[in-house]
Structure 1
Amino acid sequence: MTASSSDKQKRRRSAAQEDEPKGKLPLAVLVGEDVSLLEAVARFLIASLRQGGDGIRREGEEEGGACPGGELGARFCAAVSASFPQWSQKLDLAALDPAKPETGASSLAAEGFETVVLDAEADGWEAVVREWASGSFFSSGKILWVKGATFLGTAEGGKSLKDFEAWAEEAGRSWPPETALVVFVPQAHLDRRKRTVAWVERRAAGVLTLALPGARQRVAFVQEVARANGVRFTEDALAYLEYALPAEYSALRLAVDKILLYARTRKGEALDGEDVRLLVPPPEEGDAFPLLSAVWRGDVREMEMHWSALPGGPNQAIRLLALVAQRIERFLVLRHLQERGHRTESELARASGMHPYAVRMALRESARYSEEELVRFYLEAAELDGRFKSIYREEERREALWLFFLEIATKVARPTRSSSSAG
């Protein structure tokens, strides 16, 4: 009986793997949908290369054998093997380098490394191979950042995947001195159906998959950074932050910076819910949150201030109208659930699928309105949305929307078209 072609291929692959060197390579693969978080982890990892001393290298050699790439390669492998296992269990957001993503390359250059940033999607893996093989002109070595390696994830591989497979054979046998490679895969996970992914998991110094931090982890991060800067929060503020803090690391870091900057003006006072609501708006409303909150409180003077400060742009009025209609829907849903016997915030949150703090805010904002008024506002919002589709000048839309906001804030109904024509 003759062996099948698939059996022959398996034997060839196993023979090739036996000939392949067993040690790890100075290659780190970071996987996750939040690129800003991947970059923050990479910056922290590379900064640690300057802090460990020769002890890091000896520890790495004891654990995984000699790592190619010279002094930099050995230190890189050791840093990855020391960090990735614990980061895969729990990532300490507060420990990450707070440098902004756009300054990442320059901050690494300050460490003395030659830093080259490439995009695997735009430049192709061929460009990566050329840069990888060219060596370094700096005594401290070269670190390549390769972004957009989606071919290692669930995206189709195409030419880049084939080029990567060819490079892997060369890299496993001949790694250039004083060179390390960090590859970013901006997807939820690697595609283990691909043969190359098995090679990556076998030969890379480390593979780290990072999910978006959960709400409690984000609040803990903000609390830790705030505590280190002498900033305190009330319970109401913490409840709101759990609801509103963005999941993306760069946006989360920006929110922390805004909180710390504002806290300096409070001279040690604890920040309350109203403070943090202005600093960290709900993710779905963004810069429109202060304006919409003023509308439902009936504060016309504050409405005017936020209205004039709101950036313009096409379809801004349509966006604001949609946000108002969304709020009214929430108000009416909660009223309906209350009529059916759901009383507490937690009961209403479970029944509506809303966050408990979103329920709390909705109950506060809608308290001064009757159900009849809310229904009227909702119908008028639907009518206004239909009119906006036939109005092409944004100025006209904004004027009509402002009058609608005034009606909500003052609870003074506008004359309808039918009543005005009858008059």
Structure 2
Amino acid sequence: MPKRPKTTDEVLRQSEIAAHLAMARPRVLAALTRQFSSLDIAEDAYQEACMRALERWPAAGLPRDPTAWLLMTGRNATIDRIRRDKRLFFKDELPESSEATNDVETELADQIDMSELRDDVLRLMFMCCHPELSLQDQLALALKVIGGFSVDKIARAFVVKPKAMEQRITRAKKKAAIVAVRIDTPSLQERTARLDAVCVMAYLLFNEGYTASGGDEHIRAELCEEAIRLVRLLLTLFPSQAEVMGLLALCLFQHSRRRARLGADDSLVPLEEQDRTLWNRQEITEGQVLLEKALRHGRAGPYQIQAAIAAVHCAAEKAEHTNWREIERLYAALEQVQPTPVVSLNRAVALSKVKNAQAGLDYLATLSHSLANYLYFHTTQASLLKEAGHPKQAIAAYKQALLLGPTEQEADHIRAQMEQCGEIE
């Protein structure tokens, strides 16, 4: 007999359950990793808990505390399996287990130490930021472990074959395992260092989605959304951290423009040419609230300043209304707290808007050595050279940019700009 089609209520219920499972994953997986001292065992335990949830929750309804239910269910199922498998050995006596009931989370709710759970999650996140891992491995591991992405999906995101990605993640897990088995409670200084590392990882993950480093897709919204989810989790764990608020605000401001960044033919649309009615005003408003709350702490860090710059762009109803003087002032402040060539590159653009293209070119001249292999240095230089009336030099800079691995959309945009330079001549 053919299967009965699902009703709208059933589809919505399954969607709600899937959302709860995804939200609980980092906390449950982190706690199980600490309990069993193995990420692989923890992942299996979480999957078992999810399967039981999918069997029980549609009929019984969501438990009062889904996270506690999943944690207790995964823990008990794993203990039962370990007891049945005499080949596994644990130095400590395993606690007695009990079959999950509809109200099993009530038993666990009184036992959960929220500060310990927070450290568990941070420990899991820090495992993904292991300093011996390459940046690509860190991001791939975070998507697999914390995000629960499939290997195929991660492979597509980084434009590699699934088998190669699976091998990469397996190697990264083994190398990072020494962090996962540490069950000591981190000191305040260690926690701060770990939080900084996780923020950097989340920011880099967002940037990989915002502007892909390769392949034929310029924007990978799924990576941006996973990074935002990760930062939201961080803010839940550390609600008074102004820089985490700033990072979330920055991601929301940038992500709010996604629908306007590509044209109908998938061509890149520069910021000044975007249809601002397509910007997501709900995300912009949330970002503004977060930024204002963060700035009230009086300790503006790099994420807050970058968010403030993005907020200025979002506040302008038209490109010509952009307050470039404020943006240049903010970039000058960012240079003080984060003196990097890329920050200076962005300040050069702001200076060109406040003064003229030549002022921007003069500032860029000091960065030519440090950013010689940076794609956006050459596209920025080319744009300013074109604006300053030097089309031949602009074409040369655009040609250099094409040698540095732009995405397909970026390459098409660069070639279009080169054609315009030819028309200027």
TM-score range, shorter chain: under 0.3
Greater RCO, CA 8 A, separation 6+:
1
Please, what TM-score do these two structures have when normalized by structure 1? 0.27
The structure with more strand, counted as a fraction of residues: 1
* Bigger Rg over Cα: 1
Decide which structure has greater helix share.
Answer: 2
